[in-house]
Amino acid sequence: MEQSDRQIVNHDNADSSINNKSGLQRKYGLFTAIAMVVGCVIGSGVFFKTGQVLDAAGGNVGIGVLAWIVGGLIMVVCAYAFATLAKKHEVVNGFTDYTEAYCGTKFGYFSGWFMATIYGPATMALLPYVAADFTATLFNIPDDIKGTFVFGLTAGYMAIIFSMTVLAPKLSGKFQISTTAIKMVPIVLVGIVGTIVGVSRGYSFESAISAFDNETTRNISFFGALFATSFAYAGWDAVSAINSEIKNSKRNLPIALTFGSILIIVLYVLYFLGVSGIGNIGELIAGPQGTQNAIASVFGSFASSLLTVFIIISCLGAANGHTMATNRHLYSLASRGLGPIPKLYKQIDTQTDTPHNGAILSFMLACVWLVVHMTSELQLFTKDFYFDIGDITVYGFSLLCIPLFFMFMIKAKDENVINRFIFPSLAFVASGFLVVALTISNYKLSLIYLTVIVLFIAIGALFLIRKRQIRANVDKEAIYEEDKSPMM
């Protein structure tokens, strides 16, 4: 990064006019915070996970609805617990702040490392991919070139969104609000109209209370359906990554988390009922084309194409929000003197108030995760399993939340019974439930995800060990210089 082009400020020497501990300015209000919660969650998941939920539920819409409701309640419980944490802690990055405060510095570091290397970059890659996949469907790209088209367009979407979040963060915030409003259109329209049409046909109501004939359904797995919804509900925590940039965050962040998460459940269940009521279950399970066909059957081909455009915008809006958050993960570690080259990654560009260096490395990691996703999507190396980079983020995040909520119940002695025990215990159980759900539905894949997470944590541990060695060498040199000094 050329320092002659832009003025750089170090976290250590941040201007005193900056009104928080992070060195970043408070530039986002309550509506942006709500838009981050709703916008980061409602992106691609509800659109491309609908088929997976139906597939796992064996085509039984009733089981699918139950999975969406239970998955949503898990999100609400965890979001409320996070809201309690948000009122108490605000340093640089919400999740890292919380794990550091209650589980210790090391656990906080490894949590932040997971967010910076797996959770954030993988999500940065997956959401633009889904937008590109729907774009290919919109333009009827032939199957023989679809893979190459989607891969190239995904990279293009990633580059555009990354550039906007880094070079024009205020514009990125406005884009987040506008896309959140736009993405409501397909969800509400399909949800309301689809449900009405489905009920009038006697289809949606009938599907919601009974399974299809065994000859046309697959094995029913509620746990598989539940875990499929978990990615669609993931992302509500992204707003905590900008907690130190939200105006009056101890008030606004809990409001955004609570209000946004409840709204999301209502919209998801409504959309799922609507699209299931007007679509062919087999086609919906097959992929985005089934969703477009379902919409076209009621709204017509032109309206179907227009709604697909809204879905694409929805995915890009979610990608924007997650990219905003991911750009700050490495910075949050560097500001604590942790991770690779802290002096480099804790620099803030004074013109855009954005940690550019950390953002660039995050983008490079996102490109790596995109390659991983495409190799799995195209089954280039194995056909035995599907490595879902979205699922590994949910699995890892849930694992880290288990000790966080447990330690909060032990240490938060100044909280009332509801905030200290009731909701954290529910969030503790909910997080463990998600881990168990994946393990039961596919234990081999859960072991693969766990192995990958452990490998990344091991890499992060090397930087921690290196820091200790450097500190030890500095201490030895100081002692040596002291010994050489003449006696007075």
Contact present, 380 and 371 (Cβ < 8 Å): no
Report, in angstroms and rounded to the nearest whole number, the Rg of the chain calculated over CA atoms: 23
Q: What is the pLDDT of residue 481?
A: 53
Identify which of 357, 349, 317, 353 has the alpha carbon closest to the alpha carbon of residue 333: 357
| CATH code at 8-473 | 1.20.1740.10
Read out DSSP for 263-293? HHHHHHHHHHHHHHHHS-HHHHHH-HHHHHH
Cβ count near 360 (within 10 Å): 16
Contact present, 464 and 338 (Cβ < 8 Å): yes
Question: Measuring CA to CA, how many Å separate 47 from each of 127, 288, 311, 382?
Answer: 11, 8, 8, 26
Q: In angstroms, rounded to a whole number, what is the distance separating the alpha carbons of residues 71 and 430?
A: 9
Q: What is the pLDDT of residue 440?
A: 85
Q: What is the pLDDT of residue 351?
A: 86
Contact present, 269 and 65 (Cβ < 8 Å): yes
DSSP 3-state of 72: helix
Q: In angstroms, rounded to a whole number, what is the distance separating the alpha carbons of residues 483 and 301?
A: 83
Q: Read off the amino acid at residue 429.
A: V
Contact present, 41 and 231 (Cβ < 8 Å): no
Token reading at 15: 């201007």
Question: What are the structural domain ranges in the chain?
Answer: 8-473
Q: What is the pLDDT of residue 31?
A: 76
Looking at the DSSP bridge assignments, the partners of residue 246 are: 28
Q: What is the pLDDT of residue 311?
A: 82
Q: In angstroms, rounded to a whole number, what is the distance separating the alpha carbons of residues 48 and 291?
A: 9
Angle among Cα 1, 460, 117 to the nearest 5 degrees reads 60
Q: What is the pTM of this model?
A: 0.80
Q: In angstroms, rounded to a whole number, what is the distance separating the alpha carbons of residues 131 and 120?
A: 17
Residue 383 CB partners (closer than 8 Å, separation 6+): none
Q: Tens-digit pLDDT profile for the chain (488 aa)?
A: 444 343 334 444 433 334 445 556 776 777 777 777 787 788 667 877 888 898 888 888 888 999 999 999 998 888 888 878 877 776 666 788 889 999 999 999 999 999 999 999 999 999 999 899 989 988 999 988 998 999 999 999 999 999 999 999 889 888 887 887 787 888 888 889 888 887 776 654 454 444 444 434 445 678 888 888 987 888 777 666 666 677 877 778 778 878 888 889 999 999 998 888 888 777 887 777 787 788 888 888 888 788 788 889 888 988 998 898 899 899 999 998 999 999 999 999 888 888 999 999 999 999 999 999 999 888 776 666 678 898 899 899 999 999 999 999 999 998 899 989 999 999 999 899 889 888 888 888 899 999 999 999 999 999 988 877 666 555 545 444 555 555 54
Token reading at 293: 């066909």
Q: Which residue has the tokens 């002695």?
A: 413
Token reading at 141: 């790209």
Angle among Cα 76, 78, 81 to the nearest 5 degrees reads 110
- Which pairs count as long-range contacts for 445-449, CB under 8 Å and 24+ apart, including other chains? 445/385, 445/386, 445/387, 445/391, 446/395, 448/385, 448/387, 449/391, 449/392, 449/395, 449/396
Alpha helices in 201-248 (DSSP H): 204-209, 222-233
Where does residue 129 fall: left (phi above 0), alpha (psi -120 to 50 degrees), or beta otherwise?
Answer: alpha
